[in-house]
Amino acid sequence: MRRSKRASLCKVNAFPDWTLMAVLVEQVEGQREFITNKSIWHLSDKALKSVYTFYIMFTCWGCLFFGSTKDPYYDSEEYRKDGGDGTGHWVYEKQEDIEESARAELWREELIEEIEQKVGGLRELEEAGRK
């Protein structure tokens, strides 16, 4: 394919590999020339990957940033009624409190059983001593 000198003069390059604008001249016999300006974006695979990576990272950052800003829901009574303090850690602290109270209840039951066994053993000894 032969490139004309005129075609190479019509390109406007912002970056060496990145053609931004091309001017096309159409010639039709017996009519005037049509001059058409076309925007053409040529990005290499590496540049496309960089653009999409930046877009994805920016989107993720936006979601994380704006997701962590103050939300009226988290300051409402509906959220805080279960003990929420707005930090997000209260869920785990609440779970730890539930587990701790369950453990204490278990220990209490075991202690009561142990005491009942000892008391039962003492009663048996007393009854055996009376006979």
State pLDDT tens for residues 10-54: 555 555 555 555 666 677 777 776 666 666 667 788 988 999 999
- How many whole angstroms separate alpha carbon 97 and alpha carbon 105? 12
Tokens 């009376």 locate to 130
Return the top range by mean pLDDT from 1-5, 29-33, 73-77, 103-107: 103-107
* Rg of the chain on CA atoms, in Å: 40
Per-residue pLDDT band for 71 (boundaries 50, 70, 90) equals confident
Could you give the C-alpha distances from 88 to 63, 69, 73, 92, 105, in angstroms and in order?
A: 17, 13, 13, 8, 27
Span 104-115, pLDDT tens digits? 999 999 999 999
Cα distances (angstroms) measured from residue 4 to each of 10, 16, 34: 11, 20, 18
Q: Which residue has the higher pLDDT, 79 or 14?
A: 79
Write down the pTM of the prediction: 0.31
Q: Which residue has the higher pLDDT, 131 or 111?
A: 111
pLDDT in tens, 113-130: 999 999 988 888 888 888
Q: How confident is the model at residue 61 (pLDDT cuts 50, 70, 90)?
A: very high
**Using an 8 Å Cβ cutoff, are 18 and 43 in contact?**
yes
Our CA dihedral for 59, 62, 68, 72, rounded to 10 degrees, sits at -110
The answer for 78, left when phi > 0, alpha when psi is -120 to 50, beta otherwise, is alpha
